[in-house]
Amino acid sequence: MWCSWGRWGLRGLRGVTPSRAAVGALHYDIRSSYIPFDTIVNERRSQAKKSLLVQVNSEKSFPELHSYCSQFGTVLGVHHYTTSNSHHFMLVEFSTEENVSNLLASTTFIQDSDVIPVQSKFLWFRPQNNELRSNIRNIINFSETNDVNKLHVKNACVIPAENLILRNLLQANSISEQIQMLYDMTCLKDLGTRLRYVTARQVESALNGLFPNATVCPFGSSVNGFGKMGCDLDLVVKFTSEDLANNLRSRLVFHTKKSTLTGRTQQQRYMEIISDMIQFFLPGCSHVRKILQARIPIIKFNQDYAGLDCDLSISSTSGLYMSELLYLYGNIDSRVRPLVFTIRKWAKHVALTNASPGKWITNFPLTLMVLFFLQNATDGAILPSFNYLRKHAGESDMRLTDDRVNCSFLRDIKDMKFISQNDSDLKELLHQFFEFYCSFDFSTQALSINEGRAIKKPDYAALYIINPLQINLNVSKNVSYEECERMKIEFRNAAWYLESVSETGNEKESWGLGVLLKEKSSSLKNKFVDYHRIVQVKDLFMNEKKELNDGDKFEKDIHKNKVNNNQIHDDVIEQIDSEISLKTVQNVNIDTEQSQFLSSENVQTRGRKVKRR
Ligand code: GTP
Ligand code: MG
């Protein structure tokens, strides 16, 4: 199992730079190694159940931690990383869930009047005291760090700095190779995915006391193959399981309580309870904010130990199926993901996209634009239409969400008949993407992934991208005319640049993609202010940051600052946050509903006009 994960962690063409001259179009076809989405999700969930996170003093704690953990079962792997505040963590994977239960049964906590003793798989490894040392010596033979016990990954979550990325791009032999390199350097790695599933599992385990069948699943860029290191973690809670309900064979039926609330109010109340649970009881979860007025209410929080920004929603499983669809498209052809990554990065660089909500396009609809282009690529389609996938869906591909959205489509693409004859390389495709949208008639045409071609726009939205799963909805409804115009200008500039640029450069001066990603946005400079973080809340508590020099200091820091801070300051943080959010909303003049699925059909202005900037 370990080996196969190593392969999965790295799969997806890393280091492969297809060359047009050497090979034909089929070289780009990666369907033979396709692993269905459900298989990956199930394996990752099971891996998370067998894993736990341990805060340690440094990576040097590895042999001791490994030996200590080994008394509870076989350790499959230990992955080390540091968080932004330089705290060291190790993710330990055991071979069975039982091993983890045995270990958890042996854990302890430091009793203190203001500590809530919630047990979880987020632990810290304290230095030995003398008594412990002599006890432990009887149990464990500290093993030498031999090959078997080697740290699998060291410092694995470091996001490469911008200048390092640009410097590396200089070494490439062509722009196509630069595009591939950018993808290889920035895509979400194995440990990033593991941490996302462990975080989902933390919330899931907390809910399982009351709802034994509830699941919490990551969706969005964390799982759709288009995630970069450091991307946010979108989570969806599902309370029921179809297998459990209405089982006619069972004669014992559990008593249930009738809900006095209905629909939206009910959802909001439940979200409030979950958000309180996360804020008060879950270790490492801080900065919890409720955005309950959105059509799909969400809870935002940080998981400090995993270094993640999380958005949690309930019962919107269509997002999960949308992630599966994007994952599937990214696995048909090796050019899809590097191209999407480059275009997302370029769009961020020229400020077409931005982390905070607004009237601009976000990564999700932008990705659909790339997929749509690939269905219409100049030298022949690289991706099939969504209708094609729908048409070839078999019995086992049928899916319907709770709110009756039909999410059926062909899921195992290995035997799909569609073959692309297009052998354009990545640079050509990037150039063609910009040219394609320079001449696209946004004023009358809508992008239909379903048809794989443009169709007449049903309304006056500036940008109309049909939601493939719900064709009456526009996923880019929020994009303003002004932003759409700006997008066209940036497409023109990029197309012009790629037309004139030479294919290679030298190792000293920026060239190719390096220049495209260095150019300032032509139509607008410094347009966006990151209202979302006008004040960095953590800066207000700077004095708590401590250097960890020795074990004692480490223990003190952990106990006094880490454990208690979340609880002590949460109220203050909440208050500051609501002020910041308020400013955000006032400054950008958007409705709060835009906070979730901001680019989406879900946005409603509720009678309040969205002011043009
Ligand atoms: P980044 O977070 O920017 O890396 O990309 P992302 O794909 O995760 O986008 P985001 O966090 O905004 O949204 C998460 C997922 O929710 C997407 O991948 C989609 O599956 C779904 N989603 C986002 N926006 C919309 C929308 O406007 N309509 C619908 N139906 N689904 C959306
Ligand atoms: Mg996301």
Instruction: Give the pLDDT confidence of 577-612 residue by residue, as tens digits.
Output: 333 343 333 333 333 333 333 333 433 333 333 333
Q: Ligand 1, residue 476: give the atom nearest the CA.
A: 27
What is the spatial distance between Cα 434 and Cα 553, in angstroms, rounded to a whole number?
Answer: 55
Answer yes or no: do 399 and 362 share one domain.
Answer: yes
Ligand 1 contact, 298 CB (< 6 A): no
User: Which residues 6+ apart lie within 8 Å of 54 measured at CB?
Assistant: 65, 89, 90, 91, 92, 123, 124, 125
- Other C-beta atoms closer than 10 Å to the C-beta of 295 total 16
Task: Tell me, yes or no, whether 325 lies in a domain.
Answer: no
What does the pLDDT read at residue 48? 98
Closest CA to 427 of 174, 171, 186, 183: 174
- The response to whether residue 231 sits with its C-beta less than 6 Å from ligand 1 reads yes
The answer for residues whose C-beta is within 8 angstroms of residue 94's C-beta and 6 or more apart is 50, 51, 52, 69, 72, 73, 74, 75, 76, 100, 103
CATH of the domain at 61: 3.30.70.330
- Average confidence (pLDDT) over 72-84: 95
Instruction: Summarize pLDDT for 157-214 with one digit per residue, the tens.
Output: 789 998 999 999 999 999 999 999 999 999 999 999 999 999 999 999 999 989 888 9
- 88 and 51, same domain (yes or no): yes
486 shares a domain with 394: yes
Distance 48 CA to ligand 1 centre (A): 23
Probe residue for ligand 1, chosen from 219, 352, 597 as the CB with the greatest number of ligand atoms within 8 Å: 597
Give the separation between CA 285 and CA 120, rounded to whole angstroms.
12
Inside any domain, residue 525: no
Measure 597 CA to ligand 1 centroid, in angstroms. Answer: 6
Q: What are phi and psi of 493, to 5 degrees?
A: -60, -45
Are both 473 and 352 inside the same structural domain? yes
Q: Residue 208, Cβ neighbours under 10 Å: how many?
A: 14
- Output the CA–CA distances (angstroms, integers) from residue 315 to 236, 279, 500, in the order listed: 7, 21, 49
Which pLDDT score, from 0 to 100, does residue 130 have? 62
Q: Whose CA is nearest to atom 9 of ligand 1?
A: 364
- Rank 101-115, 265-279, 433-447 by mean pLDDT and report only the highest: 433-447
Q: Which atom of ligand 1 is nearest to the CA of 320?
A: 20
Residue with tokens 């035997």: 415
| pLDDT tops 60 at residue 408 | yes
CATH number, domain of 275, equals: 3.30.460.10
Q: Which atom of ligand 1 sits closest to the CA of residue 600? A: 27
Within a domain: residue 609?
no
Q: Hey, what are 96's tokens?
A: 């069975």
209-213, 325-329, 570-574: least confidently modelled range: 570-574
Give the torsion through C-alpha atoms of 452, 453, 457, 458, to 10 deg.
-40
Q: Which ligand is nearest to the CA of 233?
A: 2
Distance 323 CA to ligand 1 centre (A): 8
Lookup: tokens for 157: 């979550």
Nearest in space to 166 (alpha carbons), one of 432, 345, 335, 433: 345
The reply to whether 515 falls in a domain is no
pLDDT confidence band for 556 (50 / 70 / 90) = low
Task: Please give the mean pLDDT across all residues of the chain.
Answer: 81
Claim to verify: residue 284 and residue 393 sit in the same structural domain = no
Residues above pLDDT 90, as percent of the chain: 59
Do 7 and 62 share a structural domain?
A: yes
The number of the ligand nearest the C-alpha atom of 295 reads 1
Question: How far away, in angstroms, is 232 Cα from ligand 2 center?
Answer: 5
The answer to which of 147-151, 391-395, 443-447, 592-596 has the lowest mean pLDDT is: 592-596
Can you give the CATH number for the domain in which 373 is found?
A: 1.10.1410.10
- Residue 13 — pLDDT band, cuts 50, 70, 90? very low
Give residue 257's pLDDT.
Answer: 85
606: in domain = no
Are the CB atoms for 215 and 238 separated by under 8 Å?
yes
Going from the Cα of 137 to the center of ligand 1, the distance in angstroms, rounded, reads: 51
Residues 68 and 216 in one domain: no
Report the atom number in ligand 1 closest to the C-alpha of 344: 3
**Residue among 352, 391, 387, 394 at smallest CA distance from 369:** 352
Residue 89 pLDDT grade (very low, low, confident, very high; cuts 50, 70, 90):
very high
Angstrom CA distances, 344 to 227, 439, 556, 570, 577, stand at: 10, 20, 43, 34, 28
If one counts the domains in the chain, the total is 4
Q: Is 358 in the pocket of ligand 1 (CB under 6 A)?
A: no
Name the maximum alpha-carbon separation found in the chain. 78
Asked if 102 and 68 count as a contact pair (C-beta separation under 8 A), the reply is no
- Strand, helix or coil at 417? coil
Tell me the mean pLDDT in the region 94-106.
96
Question: Which three-class secondary structure string do you get for 446-462?
Answer: EEECCCCEEEECCCCCC
Ligand 2 center to 234 CA (angstroms) = 5
Residue 25: CB within 6 Å of ligand 1? no
Name the β-bridge partners of 123: 54
Amino acid found at 193: T
Measured from the Cα of 232, ligand 1's closest atom is: 2
Instruction: Tell me the per-residue pLDDT of 335-353, one tens digit each, with 9 for 90 and over.
Output: 999 999 999 999 999 999 9
In a domain, 508, yes or no: no
Tell which one of 232, 356, 364 to mutate to probe ligand 1, the residue whose CB is within 8 A of the most ligand atoms.
364
Residue 232 in contact with ligand 1 by CB distance below 6 A: yes
| pLDDT tier at 550, thresholds 50, 70, 90 | very low
Single residue among 186, 201, 218 that ends a domain in this structure: 186
- Residue of 437, 397, 428 lying closest to 413 (CA atoms): 397
- Out of 152, 169, 186, a domain closes at 186
Which tokens in the block code for residue 578? Answer: 């609501």
Q: 380's torsion region: left (phi>0), alpha (psi -120 to 50) or beta? A: left
Pick 573 or 386 by higher pLDDT: 386
**Is 377 in the same domain as 479?**
yes
Residue 202: burial class (beta carbons within 10 Å; 0-12, 13-18, 19+): buried
- In a 13 Å sphere around the CA of 262, the CA atoms on its Cβ side amount to 0
Note down the domain range covering 211.
190-244+261-318
Question: Hey, what are 382's tokens?
Answer: 């690289």
Q: Ligand 1 atom closest to Cα of 224?
A: 18
- pLDDT for res 336: 98
Same domain, 127 and 224: no
Mean pLDDT (whole number) for 298-309: 97
The distance of Cα 24 from the centroid of its chain, to the nearest Å, equals 33
* The residue type at 225: G
Percent of the chain with pLDDT over 70: 75
Q: Which residue has the tokens 């209410």?
A: 297
Please say if the pLDDT value at position 279 is more than 80.
yes
Tell me which residue has tokens 């290889």: 184
Asked if residue 450 and residue 549 are part of one domain, the reply reads: no
Gap from CA of 457 to ligand 2 centroid (Å) = 27
Q: Could you tell me if the CB of 597 is within 6 A of ligand 1?
A: yes
Helix H or strand E segment including 432? helix 426-438
Residue 391 lies inside a defined structural domain of this protein: yes
Place 134 in a pLDDT band, splitting at 50, 70 and 90.
low
Taking only the tens place, the pLDDT of each residue in 445-489 is 999 999 999 999 999 999 999 999 999 999 999 999 999 999 999
Edge-to-edge strands of the sheet including 285-291?
215-219, 233-238, 308-314, 298-303, 285-291
Q: Is the pLDDT of residue 6 over 80?
A: no
| Residues 6 and 101 occupy one common structural domain | yes
Q: Give 391's DSSP letter.
A: H
Minimum-distance ligand 1 atom for the alpha carbon of 598: 27
Q: Which atom of ligand 1 is nearest to the CA of 228?
A: 4
Query: Which residue intervals of 171-286 are DSSP H helices?
Result: 175-186, 190-208, 263-281
**Residue located nearest, by CA, to atom 31 of ligand 1:** 319
- My answer on whether 352 and 467 are in the same domain is yes
519 pLDDT tier (thresholds 50, 70, 90): low
Asked whether 221 lines ligand 1 (CB < 6 A), one says: yes
Instruction: Flag whether 518 is in a domain.
Output: no
Tell me, using a 6 A CB cutoff, whether residue 353 lines ligand 1: no
Expressed in angstroms and rounded, the spacing between residue 58 Cα and the centre of ligand 1 is 36
Residue 354 near ligand 1, beta carbon < 6 Å: no
At residue 429, what is the residue type? L
pLDDT confidence tier of residue 357, bands split at 50, 70 and 90: confident
Structure tokens at 294: 């959105």
277 CB-side CA count, 13 A: 16
295 confidence band (pLDDT: 50, 70, 90): confident
CA distance 535 to 553: 29
